[in-house]
Structure 1
Amino acid sequence: MFEKWLSSIGIGGATVDAVLNQETIQPGKEAKGVIKLTGGKADQPVTTIELKLIVEYYRDDPDSETHYLCETIESHKIDVIDIVHEGEHRTIPFSFPVPLHAPMTTEEQKMAIETIVHIPNGKNCSDRDEVDVFHPLYMKTLEVVKALRFSPSTGYGRCTKEKGGHLKQRFTFSCPKDVYKIETLTLCFEARPHDPLLIIGINETEYIYKGLQPPDGFTEDAFREVFRPYKSNP
Protein backbone atom coordinates (compact mmCIF):
# COMPACT_ATOMS: atom_id res chain seq x y z
CA MET A 1 0.00 0.00 0.00
CA PHE A 2 1.28 3.46 -0.90
CA GLU A 3 2.19 5.71 2.02
CA LYS A 4 3.01 9.42 1.90
CA TRP A 5 4.45 10.72 5.17
CA LEU A 6 2.94 14.14 5.78
CA SER A 7 4.54 15.05 9.08
CA SER A 8 6.49 13.77 12.05
CA ILE A 9 5.97 15.78 15.21
CA GLY A 10 7.89 15.21 18.42
CA ILE A 11 6.07 16.19 21.61
CA GLY A 12 7.87 15.49 24.85
CA GLY A 13 9.11 11.96 24.43
CA ALA A 14 6.33 10.89 22.06
CA THR A 15 6.04 11.12 18.25
CA VAL A 16 2.96 11.77 16.14
CA ASP A 17 3.23 10.79 12.46
CA ALA A 18 0.55 11.60 9.87
CA VAL A 19 0.58 9.25 6.88
CA LEU A 20 -1.56 9.54 3.73
CA ASN A 21 -2.53 6.25 2.07
CA GLN A 22 -2.61 7.66 -1.47
CA GLU A 23 -0.18 9.39 -3.81
CA THR A 24 -2.66 12.10 -4.77
CA ILE A 25 -5.97 13.33 -3.40
CA GLN A 26 -8.95 14.15 -5.60
CA PRO A 27 -11.75 16.70 -5.17
CA GLY A 28 -15.08 15.05 -4.43
CA LYS A 29 -13.43 11.99 -2.88
CA GLU A 30 -11.99 11.06 0.50
CA ALA A 31 -8.43 11.65 1.66
CA LYS A 32 -7.50 8.62 3.75
CA GLY A 33 -4.60 7.81 6.00
CA VAL A 34 -3.50 7.02 9.53
CA ILE A 35 -2.07 8.78 12.55
CA LYS A 36 0.76 6.79 14.14
CA LEU A 37 1.38 7.48 17.82
CA THR A 38 4.67 6.31 19.30
CA GLY A 39 5.34 6.67 23.00
CA GLY A 40 8.70 7.81 24.29
CA LYS A 41 10.35 7.43 27.66
CA ALA A 42 7.51 9.14 29.50
CA ASP A 43 3.72 9.41 29.21
CA GLN A 44 2.47 12.30 27.04
CA PRO A 45 -1.12 13.63 27.16
CA VAL A 46 -2.72 14.56 23.82
CA THR A 47 -6.27 15.89 23.44
CA THR A 48 -6.86 16.40 19.71
CA ILE A 49 -5.06 15.99 16.40
CA GLU A 50 -6.22 18.31 13.64
CA LEU A 51 -5.63 18.02 9.89
CA LYS A 52 -6.09 21.03 7.62
CA LEU A 53 -6.10 21.15 3.82
CA ILE A 54 -4.48 24.46 2.92
CA VAL A 55 -4.17 26.45 -0.30
CA GLU A 56 -1.73 29.30 -0.83
CA TYR A 57 -3.06 32.09 -3.02
CA TYR A 58 -2.06 35.50 -4.32
CA ARG A 59 -4.05 38.60 -3.40
CA ASP A 60 -3.42 41.84 -5.25
CA ASP A 61 -4.24 44.31 -2.49
CA PRO A 62 -2.53 47.72 -2.72
CA ASP A 63 -3.33 48.35 0.97
CA SER A 64 -1.42 45.29 2.16
CA GLU A 65 2.27 44.41 2.20
CA THR A 66 1.40 40.70 2.25
CA HIS A 67 0.33 39.32 -1.11
CA TYR A 68 0.73 35.56 -0.57
CA LEU A 69 -1.83 34.23 1.92
CA CYS A 70 -3.10 30.83 3.03
CA GLU A 71 -6.66 29.59 3.39
CA THR A 72 -7.97 26.42 5.00
CA ILE A 73 -10.56 24.82 2.72
CA GLU A 74 -11.17 21.68 4.80
CA SER A 75 -10.34 20.61 8.35
CA HIS A 76 -10.73 17.37 10.27
CA LYS A 77 -10.32 16.70 13.99
CA ILE A 78 -9.37 13.42 15.61
CA ASP A 79 -10.27 13.30 19.28
CA VAL A 80 -7.62 11.44 21.24
CA ILE A 81 -8.24 12.86 24.75
CA ASP A 82 -5.84 10.35 26.15
CA ILE A 83 -2.29 9.68 27.16
CA VAL A 84 0.31 8.27 24.79
CA HIS A 85 1.95 5.87 27.19
CA GLU A 86 5.64 5.14 27.47
CA GLY A 87 6.75 2.81 24.66
CA GLU A 88 3.23 2.58 23.23
CA HIS A 89 2.48 2.12 19.51
CA ARG A 90 -1.00 3.09 18.34
CA THR A 91 -2.56 3.68 14.91
CA ILE A 92 -5.67 5.82 14.35
CA PRO A 93 -7.25 5.82 10.86
CA PHE A 94 -8.65 9.06 9.43
CA SER A 95 -10.57 10.20 6.38
CA PHE A 96 -11.98 13.54 5.33
CA PRO A 97 -13.70 14.84 2.19
CA VAL A 98 -11.69 16.83 -0.33
CA PRO A 99 -13.94 19.75 -1.45
CA LEU A 100 -14.96 19.89 -5.10
CA HIS A 101 -13.59 23.43 -5.28
CA ALA A 102 -10.08 22.43 -4.14
CA PRO A 103 -7.51 23.81 -6.63
CA MET A 104 -5.35 21.49 -8.69
CA THR A 105 -1.64 21.23 -7.92
CA THR A 106 0.70 22.70 -10.56
CA GLU A 107 4.29 23.96 -10.55
CA GLU A 108 2.86 27.42 -9.79
CA GLN A 109 0.22 26.28 -7.29
CA LYS A 110 0.96 24.30 -4.16
CA MET A 111 -1.37 22.59 -1.72
CA ALA A 112 -0.52 21.31 1.75
CA ILE A 113 -1.87 19.33 4.68
CA GLU A 114 -1.05 20.75 8.09
CA THR A 115 -1.03 18.48 11.14
CA ILE A 116 -1.65 20.13 14.51
CA VAL A 117 -1.26 18.27 17.80
CA HIS A 118 -3.21 19.86 20.66
CA ILE A 119 -1.63 19.37 24.08
CA PRO A 120 -3.51 20.14 27.30
CA ASN A 121 -2.09 23.13 29.16
CA GLY A 122 0.80 23.33 26.74
CA LYS A 123 1.92 24.75 23.41
CA ASN A 124 0.39 23.05 20.38
CA CYS A 125 2.80 21.53 17.85
CA SER A 126 2.33 21.57 14.08
CA ASP A 127 3.96 20.57 10.83
CA ARG A 128 3.00 21.10 7.19
CA ASP A 129 3.81 19.15 4.05
CA GLU A 130 2.85 19.55 0.39
CA VAL A 131 0.24 17.24 -1.11
CA ASP A 132 -0.69 16.61 -4.74
CA VAL A 133 -4.28 17.39 -5.73
CA PHE A 134 -5.44 15.89 -9.04
CA HIS A 135 -8.60 17.44 -10.48
CA PRO A 136 -9.95 15.29 -13.37
CA LEU A 137 -12.46 17.92 -14.50
CA TYR A 138 -9.88 20.70 -14.69
CA MET A 139 -7.33 18.41 -16.32
CA LYS A 140 -9.69 17.18 -19.01
CA THR A 141 -10.71 20.75 -19.87
CA LEU A 142 -7.06 21.88 -20.05
CA GLU A 143 -6.07 18.94 -22.23
CA VAL A 144 -8.77 19.92 -24.73
CA VAL A 145 -7.22 23.40 -25.03
CA LYS A 146 -3.73 21.95 -25.46
CA ALA A 147 -5.06 19.69 -28.24
CA LEU A 148 -6.13 22.86 -30.06
CA ARG A 149 -2.43 23.91 -30.12
CA PHE A 150 -2.45 26.31 -27.18
CA SER A 151 0.63 26.15 -24.90
CA PRO A 152 0.84 26.84 -21.13
CA SER A 153 2.62 30.10 -20.27
CA THR A 154 3.82 31.99 -17.19
CA GLY A 155 1.66 31.76 -14.08
CA TYR A 156 -0.05 28.55 -15.24
CA GLY A 157 -2.44 27.37 -12.51
CA ARG A 158 -1.81 30.09 -9.93
CA CYS A 159 -4.63 30.83 -7.47
CA THR A 160 -5.80 34.37 -6.75
CA LYS A 161 -8.49 35.80 -4.55
CA GLU A 162 -10.08 39.20 -4.47
CA LYS A 163 -11.11 40.66 -1.15
CA GLY A 164 -14.38 39.01 -0.13
CA GLY A 165 -14.44 36.81 -3.23
CA HIS A 166 -13.91 33.17 -4.16
CA LEU A 167 -10.62 31.49 -4.99
CA LYS A 168 -9.85 31.55 -8.70
CA GLN A 169 -7.35 29.26 -10.38
CA ARG A 170 -6.04 30.77 -13.61
CA PHE A 171 -4.41 28.89 -16.47
CA THR A 172 -2.77 31.12 -19.09
CA PHE A 173 -1.87 30.04 -22.62
CA SER A 174 0.11 31.31 -25.54
CA CYS A 175 -1.77 31.07 -28.83
CA PRO A 176 -1.00 29.72 -32.32
CA LYS A 177 -1.00 32.88 -34.45
CA ASP A 178 -1.57 30.98 -37.69
CA VAL A 179 -4.87 29.59 -36.37
CA TYR A 180 -6.44 32.24 -34.12
CA LYS A 181 -6.29 36.03 -33.78
CA ILE A 182 -5.90 35.75 -30.04
CA GLU A 183 -3.31 37.71 -28.08
CA THR A 184 -4.07 36.16 -24.68
CA LEU A 185 -6.12 33.18 -23.53
CA THR A 186 -6.94 32.53 -19.87
CA LEU A 187 -9.05 29.76 -18.38
CA CYS A 188 -10.19 30.69 -14.90
CA PHE A 189 -11.93 28.18 -12.64
CA GLU A 190 -13.78 30.05 -9.91
CA ALA A 191 -14.00 27.85 -6.84
CA ARG A 192 -17.62 28.16 -5.80
CA PRO A 193 -18.47 25.12 -3.65
CA HIS A 194 -21.81 24.28 -5.32
CA ASP A 195 -21.76 26.25 -8.57
CA PRO A 196 -18.28 26.25 -10.16
CA LEU A 197 -17.65 28.72 -12.95
CA LEU A 198 -15.40 28.53 -15.98
CA ILE A 199 -14.38 31.98 -17.18
CA ILE A 200 -12.71 32.01 -20.59
CA GLY A 201 -10.76 35.20 -21.19
CA ILE A 202 -9.92 36.00 -24.81
CA ASN A 203 -8.03 39.26 -25.31
CA GLU A 204 -10.19 41.66 -23.26
CA THR A 205 -13.46 39.68 -23.47
CA GLU A 206 -14.72 37.24 -20.85
CA TYR A 207 -17.13 34.35 -21.44
CA ILE A 208 -18.69 32.95 -18.27
CA TYR A 209 -20.08 29.42 -18.03
CA LYS A 210 -21.90 28.14 -14.92
CA GLY A 211 -22.28 24.66 -13.54
CA LEU A 212 -19.13 23.13 -15.02
CA GLN A 213 -19.65 19.51 -14.02
CA PRO A 214 -17.98 16.10 -14.59
CA PRO A 215 -17.33 14.02 -16.52
CA ASP A 216 -16.77 16.01 -19.70
CA GLY A 217 -15.99 19.49 -18.46
CA PHE A 218 -15.86 21.86 -21.41
CA THR A 219 -15.65 19.87 -24.66
CA GLU A 220 -13.52 20.48 -27.75
CA ASP A 221 -16.62 21.36 -29.79
CA ALA A 222 -17.61 23.93 -27.18
CA PHE A 223 -14.16 25.53 -27.30
CA ARG A 224 -14.18 25.58 -31.12
CA GLU A 225 -17.47 27.46 -31.00
CA VAL A 226 -16.03 30.05 -28.60
CA PHE A 227 -12.88 30.45 -30.70
CA ARG A 228 -14.72 30.55 -34.06
CA PRO A 229 -14.95 34.41 -34.30
CA TYR A 230 -11.18 34.59 -33.70
CA LYS A 231 -10.05 32.24 -36.46
CA SER A 232 -7.32 33.64 -38.69
CA ASN A 233 -9.00 32.18 -41.76
CA PRO A 234 -12.77 32.06 -41.07
Structure 2
Amino acid sequence: MFKKILAAVGIGSAKVDTRLHQSQLLPGQTFSATIVVQGGDVAQKIDGIDLALMTRAKVSTDNGDYFKNHCLARWRVAERFEIQPGEVREIPFSGQLHPETPFTALPVRNNQCHVWLQTGADIDSAIDPTDADVIDILPTPLLGHVLNAMQELGFVLTKADVEQGYLSAPGFRSRSGCYQELEFHPRSFGFSSLREVEISLVCEAGETHLLIELDRAFRGDGYRAFSIANNASAGEVFTQLKHYIR
Protein backbone atom coordinates (compact mmCIF):
# COMPACT_ATOMS: atom_id res chain seq x y z
CA MET A 1 0.00 0.00 0.00
CA PHE A 2 2.84 2.40 0.91
CA LYS A 3 4.50 1.90 -2.49
CA LYS A 4 1.21 2.61 -4.27
CA ILE A 5 0.88 5.89 -2.38
CA LEU A 6 4.45 6.82 -3.34
CA ALA A 7 3.73 6.02 -7.00
CA ALA A 8 0.62 8.18 -6.88
CA VAL A 9 2.73 11.23 -6.04
CA GLY A 10 5.38 10.42 -8.64
CA ILE A 11 7.93 8.64 -6.44
CA GLY A 12 8.98 5.21 -7.67
CA SER A 13 6.58 5.49 -10.59
CA ALA A 14 6.98 4.60 -14.26
CA LYS A 15 9.29 6.64 -16.50
CA VAL A 16 8.90 7.40 -20.19
CA ASP A 17 11.74 8.16 -22.60
CA THR A 18 11.47 8.88 -26.33
CA ARG A 19 14.54 7.93 -28.34
CA LEU A 20 14.64 9.64 -31.71
CA HIS A 21 16.39 7.79 -34.50
CA GLN A 22 17.32 11.14 -36.11
CA SER A 23 18.15 14.36 -34.29
CA GLN A 24 18.27 16.53 -37.43
CA LEU A 25 15.22 16.81 -39.68
CA LEU A 26 13.59 18.97 -42.33
CA PRO A 27 10.07 20.41 -42.14
CA GLY A 28 7.56 17.83 -43.33
CA GLN A 29 10.07 14.98 -43.04
CA THR A 30 9.08 11.55 -41.77
CA PHE A 31 10.83 10.49 -38.58
CA SER A 32 10.98 7.38 -36.42
CA ALA A 33 11.40 6.91 -32.70
CA THR A 34 11.17 4.35 -29.94
CA ILE A 35 9.20 5.19 -26.81
CA VAL A 36 10.63 3.31 -23.84
CA VAL A 37 8.43 2.83 -20.78
CA GLN A 38 10.26 1.74 -17.63
CA GLY A 39 8.15 0.28 -14.86
CA GLY A 40 8.61 1.60 -11.34
CA ASP A 41 8.35 -0.14 -7.97
CA VAL A 42 4.70 -1.09 -8.33
CA ALA A 43 2.34 -2.03 -11.15
CA GLN A 44 0.69 1.00 -12.72
CA LYS A 45 -2.13 1.55 -15.15
CA ILE A 46 -1.22 4.02 -17.88
CA ASP A 47 -4.20 5.57 -19.62
CA GLY A 48 -2.17 6.31 -22.75
CA ILE A 49 0.95 7.89 -24.20
CA ASP A 50 0.95 10.99 -26.38
CA LEU A 51 3.72 12.55 -28.44
CA ALA A 52 3.57 16.25 -29.30
CA LEU A 53 5.62 18.38 -31.70
CA MET A 54 6.25 21.66 -29.87
CA THR A 55 7.75 25.09 -30.49
CA ARG A 56 7.96 28.41 -28.62
CA ALA A 57 5.88 31.21 -30.12
CA LYS A 58 6.02 34.90 -29.28
CA VAL A 59 2.71 36.44 -28.26
CA SER A 60 2.36 40.20 -28.65
CA THR A 61 -0.03 42.07 -26.36
CA ASP A 62 -0.68 45.65 -25.34
CA ASN A 63 1.26 44.93 -22.16
CA GLY A 64 4.32 43.56 -23.95
CA ASP A 65 5.55 40.34 -25.52
CA TYR A 66 5.94 36.92 -23.98
CA PHE A 67 6.65 33.37 -25.19
CA LYS A 68 4.38 30.36 -24.84
CA ASN A 69 4.66 26.72 -25.86
CA HIS A 70 2.75 25.98 -29.05
CA CYS A 71 1.73 22.51 -30.24
CA LEU A 72 2.25 21.94 -33.97
CA ALA A 73 1.10 18.30 -34.07
CA ARG A 74 0.03 15.59 -31.66
CA TRP A 75 -0.02 11.80 -31.97
CA ARG A 76 -1.52 9.06 -29.82
CA VAL A 77 1.29 6.54 -29.44
CA ALA A 78 -0.32 3.96 -27.16
CA GLU A 79 -3.70 3.32 -25.58
CA ARG A 80 -4.38 2.16 -22.02
CA PHE A 81 -2.09 -0.55 -20.64
CA GLU A 82 -0.52 -1.71 -17.37
CA ILE A 83 3.21 -1.65 -16.72
CA GLN A 84 4.60 -4.12 -14.20
CA PRO A 85 7.35 -3.38 -11.64
CA GLY A 86 10.72 -3.23 -13.40
CA GLU A 87 9.16 -4.02 -16.80
CA VAL A 88 10.64 -2.33 -19.88
CA ARG A 89 8.29 -1.85 -22.80
CA GLU A 90 9.46 -0.46 -26.15
CA ILE A 91 6.90 1.12 -28.49
CA PRO A 92 8.02 1.85 -32.07
CA PHE A 93 6.59 4.97 -33.66
CA SER A 94 6.87 6.86 -36.94
CA GLY A 95 5.35 10.20 -37.82
CA GLN A 96 5.71 13.20 -40.08
CA LEU A 97 6.70 16.69 -39.00
CA HIS A 98 4.30 19.49 -39.79
CA PRO A 99 5.41 21.20 -43.04
CA GLU A 100 5.41 24.55 -41.20
CA THR A 101 7.78 23.34 -38.49
CA PRO A 102 10.12 26.30 -37.82
CA PHE A 103 13.77 26.10 -38.79
CA THR A 104 16.10 26.10 -35.79
CA ALA A 105 19.57 25.42 -37.23
CA LEU A 106 20.14 28.95 -38.49
CA PRO A 107 23.32 31.05 -38.86
CA VAL A 108 22.23 33.76 -36.42
CA ARG A 109 23.29 34.63 -32.89
CA ASN A 110 19.87 35.83 -31.71
CA ASN A 111 18.04 32.61 -32.46
CA GLN A 112 14.77 32.31 -30.53
CA CYS A 113 13.52 29.28 -32.48
CA HIS A 114 13.16 25.97 -30.65
CA VAL A 115 11.47 22.71 -31.65
CA TRP A 116 11.13 19.58 -29.57
CA LEU A 117 9.12 16.40 -29.15
CA GLN A 118 7.38 16.07 -25.81
CA THR A 119 6.19 12.74 -24.49
CA GLY A 120 3.49 12.43 -21.87
CA ALA A 121 2.20 9.33 -20.10
CA ASP A 122 -1.26 9.74 -18.65
CA ILE A 123 -0.98 7.66 -15.49
CA ASP A 124 -4.07 7.17 -13.41
CA SER A 125 -3.81 9.14 -10.14
CA ALA A 126 -0.15 10.01 -10.69
CA ILE A 127 1.96 12.95 -11.76
CA ASP A 128 2.53 12.51 -15.50
CA PRO A 129 6.18 11.81 -16.29
CA THR A 130 7.27 13.93 -19.24
CA ASP A 131 10.22 13.79 -21.57
CA ALA A 132 11.34 16.45 -24.05
CA ASP A 133 13.68 15.77 -26.99
CA VAL A 134 15.11 18.74 -28.87
CA ILE A 135 15.23 18.48 -32.67
CA ASP A 136 17.45 20.46 -35.01
CA ILE A 137 15.32 21.57 -37.95
CA LEU A 138 17.68 22.13 -40.85
CA PRO A 139 17.19 24.74 -43.59
CA THR A 140 15.71 23.38 -46.80
CA PRO A 141 17.74 23.96 -49.98
CA LEU A 142 15.33 26.79 -50.85
CA LEU A 143 15.85 28.54 -47.51
CA GLY A 144 19.59 28.14 -48.05
CA HIS A 145 19.18 29.99 -51.36
CA VAL A 146 17.19 32.73 -49.59
CA LEU A 147 19.87 33.20 -46.94
CA ASN A 148 22.65 33.31 -49.55
CA ALA A 149 20.68 35.72 -51.76
CA MET A 150 20.06 38.10 -48.86
CA GLN A 151 23.77 38.08 -48.10
CA GLU A 152 24.57 38.88 -51.73
CA LEU A 153 22.05 41.72 -51.61
CA GLY A 154 23.91 43.21 -48.67
CA PHE A 155 21.83 42.03 -45.70
CA VAL A 156 22.77 40.19 -42.52
CA LEU A 157 20.47 37.83 -40.65
CA THR A 158 20.27 39.29 -37.13
CA LYS A 159 17.30 37.58 -35.48
CA ALA A 160 14.95 34.64 -35.92
CA ASP A 161 11.81 33.89 -33.94
CA VAL A 162 8.39 32.25 -34.14
CA GLU A 163 5.27 34.42 -33.90
CA GLN A 164 1.86 33.28 -32.77
CA GLY A 165 -0.91 33.77 -35.32
CA TYR A 166 -1.63 33.11 -38.97
CA LEU A 167 0.26 34.51 -41.92
CA SER A 168 -2.02 35.61 -44.75
CA ALA A 169 -1.25 37.01 -48.18
CA PRO A 170 -2.83 36.74 -51.63
CA GLY A 171 -2.56 33.09 -52.64
CA PHE A 172 -1.58 31.52 -49.32
CA ARG A 173 -2.32 31.30 -45.61
CA SER A 174 -0.48 29.47 -42.85
CA ARG A 175 -2.24 26.65 -41.00
CA SER A 176 -0.18 25.85 -37.90
CA GLY A 177 -1.19 28.81 -35.73
CA CYS A 178 2.31 30.26 -35.77
CA TYR A 179 4.86 31.38 -38.34
CA GLN A 180 8.59 31.97 -38.51
CA GLU A 181 10.07 35.41 -39.00
CA LEU A 182 13.64 36.15 -40.12
CA GLU A 183 14.97 39.65 -39.48
CA PHE A 184 17.66 41.13 -41.72
CA HIS A 185 19.58 44.39 -41.49
CA PRO A 186 21.77 46.02 -44.13
CA ARG A 187 25.51 45.59 -43.62
CA SER A 188 25.91 49.24 -44.59
CA PHE A 189 23.12 51.78 -44.97
CA GLY A 190 24.83 53.74 -47.76
CA PHE A 191 22.21 55.29 -50.02
CA SER A 192 19.58 52.65 -49.28
CA SER A 193 16.43 53.73 -47.44
CA LEU A 194 15.84 50.20 -46.11
CA ARG A 195 16.44 49.93 -42.38
CA GLU A 196 15.18 46.37 -41.96
CA VAL A 197 13.76 43.47 -43.97
CA GLU A 198 11.62 40.78 -42.33
CA ILE A 199 10.91 37.58 -44.22
CA SER A 200 8.21 35.18 -43.02
CA LEU A 201 7.88 31.75 -44.56
CA VAL A 202 5.11 29.22 -45.04
CA CYS A 203 6.47 25.90 -46.29
CA GLU A 204 4.46 23.35 -48.25
CA ALA A 205 5.37 20.11 -49.98
CA GLY A 206 6.01 21.63 -53.41
CA GLU A 207 6.57 25.32 -52.80
CA THR A 208 7.44 27.93 -50.21
CA HIS A 209 5.50 31.15 -49.69
CA LEU A 210 7.32 34.28 -48.57
CA LEU A 211 5.91 37.46 -47.07
CA ILE A 212 8.42 40.32 -47.03
CA GLU A 213 8.06 43.38 -44.82
CA LEU A 214 10.21 46.35 -45.81
CA ASP A 215 11.01 48.94 -43.13
CA ARG A 216 12.00 52.10 -44.99
CA ALA A 217 13.50 55.21 -43.46
CA PHE A 218 11.52 57.64 -45.62
CA ARG A 219 8.61 55.94 -47.39
CA GLY A 220 7.20 53.88 -44.55
CA ASP A 221 6.67 50.13 -44.43
CA GLY A 222 5.86 48.04 -47.47
CA TYR A 223 4.80 44.44 -48.01
CA ARG A 224 5.61 42.01 -50.80
CA ALA A 225 4.51 38.39 -51.18
CA PHE A 226 5.40 35.65 -53.62
CA SER A 227 5.59 31.87 -53.89
CA ILE A 228 8.42 29.88 -55.36
CA ALA A 229 8.94 26.18 -56.13
CA ASN A 230 11.06 24.30 -53.62
CA ASN A 231 13.34 23.10 -56.44
CA ALA A 232 14.03 26.64 -57.68
CA SER A 233 17.67 27.40 -58.39
CA ALA A 234 19.82 29.82 -56.44
CA GLY A 235 19.70 32.20 -59.40
CA GLU A 236 15.91 32.17 -59.53
CA VAL A 237 15.66 32.91 -55.81
CA PHE A 238 18.18 35.76 -56.09
CA THR A 239 16.29 37.32 -59.02
CA GLN A 240 12.97 37.19 -57.16
CA LEU A 241 14.35 38.72 -53.96
CA LYS A 242 16.23 41.43 -55.86
CA HIS A 243 12.99 42.36 -57.59
CA TYR A 244 10.94 42.64 -54.40
CA ILE A 245 13.50 44.09 -51.97
CA ARG A 246 13.98 47.69 -52.99
TM-score by length of 1: 0.78
Residue 115 in structure 1 maps to residue 131 in structure 2? no
Q: Distance in 2 between matches of 1:222 and 1:164?
A: 20
The answer to whether the 8 Å contact 1:170/1:189 transfers is yes
Q: CA deviation at 1:162?
A: 4.3
1:53-77 per-position Cα deviation (integer Å, ceiling 9, x unaligned): 1121112111x67722222110111
1:79-120 per-position Cα deviation (integer Å, ceiling 9, x unaligned): 242222223222111111101111111522112221110113
Aligned residues: 215
Aligned to 1:207: 224
Q: Distance in 2 between matches of 1:90 and 1:77?
A: 16
Q: CA deviation at 1:14?
A: 2.9
Aligned to 2:194: 182
Q: Alpha carbons of 1:145 and 1:163: their partners in 2 closer, same or farther (altered >3 Å)? A: closer
Residue 27 in structure 1 maps to residue 45 in structure 2? no
Q: Distance in 1 between matches of 2:24 and 2:166?
A: 30
Q: Distance in 1 between matches of 2:167 and 2:124?
A: 35
Structure 2: state its 5+ residue gaps.
Answer: 1-9, 169-176
Q: Distance in 2 between matches of 1:47 and 1:68?
A: 30
Q: Distance in 2 between matches of 1:82 and 1:35?
A: 14
Aligned to 2:242: 224
Q: Secondary structure at the match of 2:232?
A: coil
Aligned to 1:134: 138
Q: Alpha carbons of 1:195 and 1:121: their partners in 2 closer, same or farther (altered >3 Å)? A: farther
Aligned to 1:5: none
Q: Alpha carbons of 1:142 and 1:93: their partners in 2 closer, same or farther (altered >3 Å)? A: same
Task: Name the % identity.
Answer: 18
Q: Alpha carbons of 1:37 and 1:201: their partners in 2 closer, same or farther (altered >3 Å)? A: same
Q: Distance in 2 between matches of 1:192 and 1:112?
A: 20
Q: Alpha carbons of 1:190 and 1:59: their partners in 2 closer, same or farther (altered >3 Å)? A: farther
Residue 158 in structure 1 maps to residue 161 in structure 2? yes
Match for 2:35: what amino acid?
I
The answer to whether the 8 Å contact 1:170/1:186 transfers is yes
Q: CA RMSD in A?
A: 2.9
TM-score by length of 2: 0.74
Q: Distance in 2 between matches of 1:95 and 1:168?
A: 25
Q: Distance in 2 between matches of 1:70 and 1:59?
A: 10
Q: Alpha carbons of 1:77 and 1:180: their partners in 2 closer, same or farther (altered >3 Å)? A: same
Q: Distance in 1 between matches of 2:23 and 2:96?
A: 16
Which of 145, 158, 180 is matched with 2:150 structurally? Answer: 145
Q: Alpha carbons of 1:39 and 1:125: their partners in 2 closer, same or farther (altered >3 Å)? A: closer
Q: Secondary structure at the match of 1:87?
A: coil
Structure 1: state its 5+ residue gaps.
Answer: 1-9
1:9-67 per-position Cα deviation (integer Å, ceiling 9, x unaligned): x77443221111112122111121101122333322223111111121112111x6772
The answer to whether the 8 Å contact 1:168/1:191 transfers is no
Segment of structure 1 superposing worse, 91-100 or 120-129:
120-129
Q: Distance in 1 between matches of 2:204 and 2:198?
A: 18
